């Protein structure tokens, strides 16, 4: 009757000491979050830049000055990080759609490859653009 395993919650949605995040759940949530950030931050920033380009040299220079500041660079860095992650995680899902990589070892390895690749790709693109 005093068995401790019967006293703990059964639902994995009860965050706390009973549920451990796994790399698969972390990447799934991160994929959704990066998709929302790309739609809410990156797309409007890109549209603002394109509209400034179409509006003329003065508008474009002002927009370029904003993107050269700390806030603009932060928007660009977050956007690039989100785009890199979303791209690599999307390629991982395409491999799954093709029926590849469903073994747990492959799932974990591809998950870590997405995480490491995100930072490498982001740094490489940022370095090339600088």
Tell me the residue ranges of DSSP E strands in 53-114: none
Residue 93 in marked binding region: no
CB-based contacts of 67, cutoff 8 Å, min separation 6 = 49, 73, 75, 76
CB-based contacts of 119, cutoff 8 Å, min separation 6 = 84
Phi, psi of 2 (to 5 degrees): -100, 30
Q: Which helix (H) or strand (E) holds 22?
A: none
Residues belonging to the binding site for heme are: 86
Residues belonging to the binding site are: 86
């Amino acid at each position: 009757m005093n068995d401790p395993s019967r006293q703990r919650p059964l639902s994995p949605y009860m965050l706390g000491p009973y549920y451990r995040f796994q790399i698969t759940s972390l990447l799934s949530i991160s994929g959704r979050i990066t998709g929302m950030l790309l739609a809410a931050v990156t797309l409007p920033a890109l549209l603002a830049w394109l509209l400034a380009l179409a509006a003329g040299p003065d508008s474009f220079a002002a927009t370029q000055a904003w993107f050269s500041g700390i806030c603009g660079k932060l928007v660009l860095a977050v956007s690039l990080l989100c785009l890199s992650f979303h791209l690599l995680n999307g390629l991982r899902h395409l491999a799954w759609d093709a029926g590849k990589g469903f073994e747990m070892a492959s799932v974990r390895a591809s998950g870590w490859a997405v995480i490491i690749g995100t930072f490498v790709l982001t740094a490489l693109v940022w370095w090339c653009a600088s």
